[in-house]
Every structure is written in structure tokens, then in C-alpha cells.
Chains A and B, each alone.
Chain A
Amino acid sequence: MSMHKPFAITLDVGSSLANHTGSWRTSRPVYVDRLPPCNAACPAGEDIQGWLYHAESGDYEAAWRVLVRDNPMPAVMGRVCYHSCEPACNRGQLDQAVSIHAVERFLGDEARSHGWRFRRDAPRSGKRVLVVGAGPSGLAAAYHLALFGHEVEIHEAGPMAGGMLRFGIPKYRLPRDVLDAEIARILDLGIALRLDTKVHRILDSMRAGRFDAAFLAVGAHLAKRTYIPAGTAAKVLDAVSVLRSMEGAEPPLLGRRVVVYGGGNTALDVARTAKRLGAEEAIIVYRRTRARMPAHEFEVEEALQEGILIKWLATIREAGDGAITVERMVLDQHGFPQPTGELDTIAADSLVLALGQEVDLSLLEAVPGLAVEDGVVRVDTGMMTGHAGIFAGGDMVPAERNVTVAIGHGKKAARHIDAWLRGTTYQPREKHQRADFARLNPWYYADAPQTVQPALDILRRQSTFDEVQGGLDESNAMFEARRCLSCGNCFECDNCYGVCPDNAVVKLGPGLRFRFDYDYCKGCGLCAAECPCGAIEMVPEAI
């Protein structure tokens, strides 16, 4: 310290860094990750926000690699998934939901055109797993099991892999080259696929192949029937075999006027297929109203655009020769259809029943410990049946039946099978708290309405099996990805770093996010209030 200071000066100049204003704080900001509603709604457990983050900056391969951590078939799922993520999307409360499925499809198509492959890094475990059924659930399980290092063999009863993706979903929704490419990429992991190999007794097959565990994923390929009095010349078919025969050399002969009985997505698929095969009239008969139809609204809308007729509130009484008799129904006070006794006649060359499907569970006979209820197998929270080492998923277990659920089952089962094979238990990570819209600061998001996917023109839709929905091009896909609000997950917008009046936020660099300097943070909460995506929480200090 100098002895000669100016008049009235006794202290050297110091920095205010000596003054730790952090001691003023009564609550502290903490960085958190919250669960975006899209991720929470995805039956396959995709980290949607996570892969959109990479797509936003145009790094599509990184986006695809994050996506396939959970779902090995993005090009397929971007087309056929019913995207329950989108109604959940917080952006829907701003303008419209992010078109997640369209970006997923774009990434899947990019992967195909660039030839991106899966990487198998895990050391070989020496364990063998039998997967029964090469549908979405079986393929997903096989993929994850292979990545865990296990040797996987798929036994498929049919002549081709794909299960319901191939035999249940028409080409105009899922072109077969897309499906074939994604299956081939999975099998390239070294997974053995044995076609035309029906498993009659699961325990026998496991013993014969020296398998350590099995995952059963048999699809619901048996059509439910109902008794309808039919004339000798009446042509009555079921939806499953009609759609299945579309994959063979001979398309089904349905005639000029086709009646489809049922109100699910399969009924619509059959009617739209019949129209494309040249039917002049394709009529769906359904016993309740449009509002109560189990089919998805967009499929009903597309079918109506293509000229499919729907007869609401009607049941089929009799299938005659060249015509069917229907009875008009009314809904009672509980919403159940009740007969009126009034009959109508509809001209029809064929009647296709689309009344639901069941699983052939015969392979489970004589397996000790297994419990079957309502035509499905009971499994525990780890997807394991009552018989140790035998797991099941997809249509075989009690759950909503759709391809995304099936893929999710495959992933979940694979994790539990892997743990079981290693003599441990799989502990799922604790779920983050939900990133609800109320947690966001939507001021910061620029206005940008949803990008519309191009649709095939109506004449080609009525006469060909070309894909109805088009894809987004690169600029549209990036635009759409950038509509993501990144709910609950820091996307490094620098707002906290900028708005802190005390310079108490440390920027750690690209990808590394930020850190609070609690020596100086006064706990004003501006960072939390101005965080667009709700990734900062104010936590009371213990005082």
C-alpha cells in the first residue's frame, strides 16, 4: 500500500468482485431438464425434442442417430404412425403443432438416400435370443438386442418380414421399398431371419435352437367373425385376407360394388384398396356414428375425399346374392346402437368383414406359468410372461394395438431381456417432470405456421397405389424442425446469460450449456422468467 495517496484517499481501488452478492439470495436458479409432452406421448419412447434439436441446425445424420436410439424404422413410422405426439405438442397452443411425423419421415428418407447404417459397438454377450414374429415389435426387439451384443434369430411364419406393416397396411400408405430398406438395415446387424418358420411350441423351438430367452411378437392376423346369414352365391371375405392377398401375385377379386363391414382403420384400408382395384362403389357399413368411429379422423377424411361412401348407423342382417340387407340403427341414451326394424338393401358383389383381429396363441400351449386372458398374454412391467425368460409384446399383450406401441414394446422388452440375461434388473431412468405450456415463455418464439405436406391428386389416389402423402423437402423439413419449442430442454438461446443483471451466468460453450455463479447470483429469478423453454427452476434456499 502506497504511503502517498491523494487527499482524502486512504484505500486502494478494489474490484466489486470482493463483494459476494450471492449471500443476498433467498432462492437459487437451477438448470433442469423437463419431459417434453411429445416425448411423453410417444409409445415408442422417442426423444423427439432431442432429434429435432439436431434437425434444426441441419445436422440430419445426428438427428437420425438420436432418433434410432429408440426406433429403428423412422421412414416407416414417419408414414404410418398415428403420431400421438402431435396433439400433445405445446406449439399447438401457439399456432399449430409441429409436424413431427413429417420431419421423422424426412430423416428416414435421408438415411435411405445417404445409406446411413447402424453401428454395433457392444461386445458380444454370447447369449442367444429367439424372436418370434418379424413384425414391428419383433424387429424392434431384435434390433435393440443385437445392439446390446446378443445373438438374435427371428422366426417368421410368413413368407416375408414386416408383419402387419406389410400385410395390414396398404401400399398407398407405406410403399414397400421403404419398408424393405428399413428391414434390411436392421437385419444387417447380423440378425438371422428364418421365413416360413412357424413356431408351433415355443419351448421346443427354444430348446432346439439353444436360446437363452425368447421374445414373442405374433401379430393379430386372425380375423374375428360374426354370424351373417349368407346366400350360397354370396361372396363374403375377411379384411385380413384381402389385405394379405394384396401382397401376393393375384389381387383379390372383389367386384364392382364392395361393401365393408366395420368402423376401424382396417375397414377404411379395405375400402380404399377396393376403390384402387377398380371398384365403382366402396361402401362402409358401420353401426354407430362418425363421432364414435374408432378409425382415425384423417383416414376417414382421406377416404371420403377418395369417394368412399359410409353408411352410418347400420348393421348387416343378411348377405344375399348380389345384394346385402342392412338394418337401420339408432343410438340409445348411452350411445349404444339399437335396432329399428327398418331394413335397406344395398347392391354388392362382395362383402368384406373388418370386425377386428385376434392373435394365434397356439404356440403357447403347454408352457408352464403362462396366463392368457381375453386372448392376450399377461406380462409383468418388464414385459416378461409368467414363464421366466419368455417375454412378449405387440398385439400379444394387453395394450392398444398399433405399430408404434409394438415398436415401443420391442425396445422395452429388449432392455429387460438384456438385464435378465445378465442376471440383473433393468431400472428405467426416473422420468423428468412434464414441461407444460405454462412453464414456457412463448413470447420468444417467432410466428411460424405449420408446413403442409403435399398430397397426391385425387384421380391418382382413386386409381393407383401411389403414396397419398408426400414428404417434405429439405428446406421445409428444416423449417418445420425449427418450429420446435424445445419444451423443458435448454437449446442454448443465451437468454439466461444475457438477462442476468449481475453477470452471474457462465457460458460454457456450444453444446455445454451454462453454469450459475452462486457467489454473485442474487436470486432475482429473471433468468427463470425469461427462459423460453422452462429449463430453469427457482429453488428456495435453506436459510
Chain B
Amino acid sequence: MSTQPIKFYQTDTFTVGNRLLAPHERSVQADPRRANALNCGHRACQGCGEALGARYAIDAAMRASGGRLIAANATGCLEVFSTPYPETSWQIPWIHSLFGNVAAVATGIAAALKVKGQGDVRVVAQGGDGGTTDIGFGCLSGMFERNDDVLYICYDNEAYMNTGVQRSSATPPAARTATTAVHGPEPGNVFGQGKNLPWIAMAHGIPYVATATVADLRDLEAKVQRAMAFRGARYVHILVPCPLGWGTAPDETIRIARLAKETGLFPVYEAEYGEITRTLKLRKPLPVEDYLRPQKRFAHLFMPEPRREVITRIQRLANRNIRRFGLYEERPWDAGALDALRSGSDA
């Protein structure tokens, strides 16, 4: 009689919790005693990916540090919606910095703790893509280069959402923002090289770099936990869809993040000392159109006529990621899925 080992857990680790898993295998977010570092009553929009990502990441860091954690927070959406004077949603020691200097402020806190002999208290710096890839980039690079003992978390929603959706160096090609209008021969943001910050962080050779999305909680928690196991500069880059800026329904936030990963447009991986150690494989490779179409910031690619040449260019970016990061291993039940994507974009 054929037997299969009982390994199948119905929803495995795809869901936040799973009663079939042993307690020590369960996620931080499934725990009724989770820190809830970012508590109720904050003023983020409905379905905010950043609010979700911040609670996921900081709760995981709280568990990893045994609750001994200080956070420095760059100016940006996260800071504005969580701390309208005199209220705060933060249930951990938290300090607001300028837009561009959170890496430096966090470095200072870590140095002060060291001087005071409180090395067991850990330090997190967090900011959006504007505060990280644009304005705070110099301070952040310095923090990496000095290998300061800080975990820097970037919540990437691909534009300056708080001030009205202006483009940042993390805005993707063709996306419409307030400053990349939809007109002319190349509507929306330009097809440039962008600023691939995880890649730049890896180039500094720091102990740990990882990317994650709010669509895969278990992966995100594992990465924060791994990051907290290192001393020195660490960088975690989390994709957090923004219903307001991306033009999606509030209940689509997680689905959109999942599509960003499953199309290959947002590669999810981790690296130690500049070398990639693991990539999260695509479960079901999907065409980029599935990701682009639900977002109003890409509506001009489909109306009035589909702009095939632009969509194809974006598909090539996804194909390059799949190739470069080895994002896909073909399995028997979806054989040929990748070829189907490639044939449409001849790359």
C-alpha cells in the first residue's frame, strides 16, 4: 500500500495562521499576544499596505529582540498617519526624524546604547521609498558603509504618497504620478535604470539584505527574524501597495502585492554579505498585464487602446528578473507557463 507522509497542512504557511502547525511553527501575527506595535486608530487610508507592512515587520522585530526595541522613523506617510499630535499609535519607543536623516538618527541611538552598555536593546530605522531611495540615500549609504548596528526597513510604495503621489526614484516605468503625467510619446514615468536599492545595499557588502512583500507574511517575518540575528547594518525592502497612489481598491492591496511577486516584477530574495542566498520562487508565473491592469496608474496602457509595445517592455523587465534571480522552477502541473510569457515578449 502506498503511503504519503503527513506533511500536508491544508493551507501550509500561505495563510497567516494554521491550527494544524505546531505552536512553535506559527507566525508572529497569528499570536494573540503579538506586540501590535502599530495599534488601532491610526489615520492610514483604508487598505493601507504600509500600515500592514509596518506592523508585520516591527512585531517580528519585537519578538526577535524580546521586546527590547527602539524605532526611528523618517518623515513620510507612516510617520504622519501614526502620530498626529498629540496621539501616537506606536506601542514601542519611537522617535521621529527628518525626512532624510533617519539612518543617521538610528546610528546615533545605536551608538548611545553601546556607550551606555545597553547593547541588548536593538535599533530599527524605517522610512518610505522617498525617505530611503531619494532624500535619505546619503545617510543610509553611510550607515551601510560604517556597518552601524541598525536594521533599516524601507516600506516601498513607489512614490511620495503623503504629499500627493509625486514620483520617486522607486517609481516604476510607465506609471502615472502627479509629476509623471500621461502625455507625449512615452506617457508616465520614464524607462530609466531606476534605483535598485536592495542591489545597492548588497554592493556595500553588509551582513544582510532582503526583499519582501505584504502578500507573504511568513516570508517577511522569517526575513526580519534573520536580519535580527545579525549585528551590523541590515536592510529589508518591503513592497507595500498604496490604494490611493496606485489606484486600486482598498481590498486589493495584498492581491496586488502578490501579483507583483508572481509576475516577477518584484523579485523576492535575500542576500548575506553581498551574495544572494535564497530566492522565493514563483508559485504560478503570470503575465505582467495581470498586475498592471487593475491599477489606475497604468490605465493609460490599456485605454483607449492597449499599448502593446509598452506592456511588452515591462514584460521584458519581469523576464529579466526571472532569469537573473532564478525565480522559477518548472513543475509538472504548469509546464510551459514561462514559455508562454516569453513568446509574447520575445525576450
Q: Please give the residue numbers on chain A whose beta carbons come within 8 Å of chain B beta carbons, in ascending order.
A: 11-21, 24, 56-57, 443-448, 451-452, 454, 470, 473, 475-476, 478-479, 482-484, 486, 491-495, 497-504, 507, 509-510, 517, 519-520, 522-526, 528-530, 532, 538
Contact = CB atoms under 8 A, between A and B. Distances in A.
A57 B19 contact: yes
B10 A483 contact: yes
21 contacts: A11-B86, A15-B39, A16-B39, A16-B84, A17-B39, A19-B41, A19-B42, A19-B43, A446-B9, A475-B4, A475-B5, A493-B18, A497-B30, A499-B254, A501-B48, A502-B40, A502-B51, A503-B40, A524-B48, A526-B254, A530-B254
B10 A446 contact: yes
B40 A482 contact: no
Contact of A501 (B17, B47, B87): B47
Contact of B19 (A452, A503, A510): A510
B251 A12 contact: no
Interface string B200-232: 000000000000000001000000000000000
B16 A498 contact: yes
Contacts of B9: 446, 482
B42 A502 contact: yes
Contacts of A12: 86
Nearest to B46: A524
Closest 5 CB pairs of A and B: A494-B17, A498-B16, A525-B251, A16-B41, A524-B47
A311 B19 CA distance: 54
Interface string B1-15: 111111011111011
Nearest to A26: B46
A492 B30 CA distance: 10
Contacts of B42: 16, 19, 21, 502
Contacts of A530: 254-255
Contact of A528 (B3, B11, B251): B251
Interface string B311-347: 0000000000000000000000100000000000000
Given A494-B27, A529-B251, A529-B254, 8 more contacts: A19-B87, A476-B3, A493-B11, A499-B52, A501-B44, A502-B42, A504-B40, A528-B251
Contact of A507 (B32, B46, B258): B32
A529 B255 contact: yes
Nearest to A453: B1
Contacts of A486: 10
A444 B39 contact: no
A508 to B, nearest CB: 9
Contact of B10 (A14, A445, A475): A445
Contact of A478 (B6, B14, B15, B253): B6
Contacts of A493: 11, 15-19
B20 interface: yes
A16 B82 contact: yes
